[in-house]
Amino acid sequence: MRDETLWARLQAVDLLNVDDLILPASRLFGGKPLSGHVKLAIIEELRRFLYLLAVSNEALVPSHFVALALHCLRPLPLTTLSQTIGQRRMLLTPTRLPAVLWEGYRRALELRAMEFGAADPEHIWPQPFSLKLQLLGWSALAAGIAFGIAARSGFATTAVSVILLLVGGFLWFTEGPWPKNLPFRKGFVAKLVP
C-alpha cells in the first residue's frame, strides 16, 4: 500500500451509514434488497475506490454499486472527505462512451488488485469477462434464431440452430440478460481535482 496514513484517515471518516446507502434490489441477490453486511462491503469498497483516486491521481470508473454509494454521499461527508484527501474535490463526469468506461473500469480493477492484493468481490466489482460472456450469449441466441428461420425456409441448419440456441440460452441464463451491474452502457468517470 502506497499511503498507509491516507488509508487510516479514510477508514476513520464516517462516510455513510448502512441506512444512508439506498440501493435498488439487485438481480445478483435474487431481486431482494441488499442485506446489511453487503451494504457494509459496498461502503468498504467505496473507501477503497476513494483511496485509489487519491493515490493514483487518475480518472477511474467505479463499479455500479460503488457509483450508487458515491451518489449517496451527503454534503457534510463530502467536506470531511475533501479534508481527508488533501483539499481536493471529486469531479464526476457522465459518459456513454464504452471505450472510456471500459478502460477506466479495467484500470480501477488493476489498481485495486495492486494496492489491496485482495480478490475483487465479484458481486460488487463484476469482471469485464462477464460482459463478454453476456454479449456472446446474445450473439448465439440471435444467430440461432437466424439459422432457425433459415431451417424453416428449407436450409439444413436445424442442428446448428438448436446448438446456438442452447449455448446462447445457457449463457443468457447464467450471466444474465444484460450486464446491469457493469458500468459499460452508461456511467461516469471519477477524478479528484484541486
Q: Judge if 32 and 85 occupy the same domain.
A: yes
The strand pair at 187-193 and 89-95 is best described as: antiparallel
Q: Judge if 122 and 156 occupy the same domain.
A: no
Q: Count Cα neighbours of 89 within 13 Å in the Cβ-side half-sphere.
A: 7
Which secondary-structure segment (H or E) carries 72? helix 64-72
Asked if 144 and 110 touch (Cβ cutoff 8 Å), the reply is no
Mean pLDDT along residues 93-109? 86
Long-range (24+ apart) CB contacts under 8 A made by 118-121 are 121/41, 121/45
Binning pLDDT at 50, 70 and 90, where does residue 29 land?
very low
Q: Judge if 166 and 150 occupy the same domain.
A: yes
| Tally of structural domains, the chain | 2
Note the pLDDT of residue 181.
Answer: 58
Specify if 180 maps to a domain.
no
The x, y and z cell numbers of residue 5, run together, are 496514513
| Beta strand ranges found along 143-194 (DSSP E) | 187-193
Name residue, grid cell 444467430.
Answer: 143
DSSP result, 103-126: HHHHHHHHHHHHHH-SPP-TTTS-
The x, y and z cell numbers of residue 106, run together, are 479495467
Q: Report helix angle 36-56 to 4-12, nearest 10.
A: 140
Q: Judge if 170 and 85 occupy the same domain.
A: no
pLDDT tens readout for residues 30-88 = 455 667 788 888 889 999 999 999 999 899 999 888 888 888 877 767 777 777 777 77
pTM score, two decimals? Answer: 0.72
Q: How large a percentage of the chain has pLDDT more than 70?
A: 85
Q: Judge if 33 and 44 occupy the same domain.
A: yes
Q: Judge if 14 and 61 occupy the same domain.
A: yes
Name residue, grid cell 439487485.
Answer: 26
Determine the structural domain holding residue 65 and report its residue range.
4-126+185-193
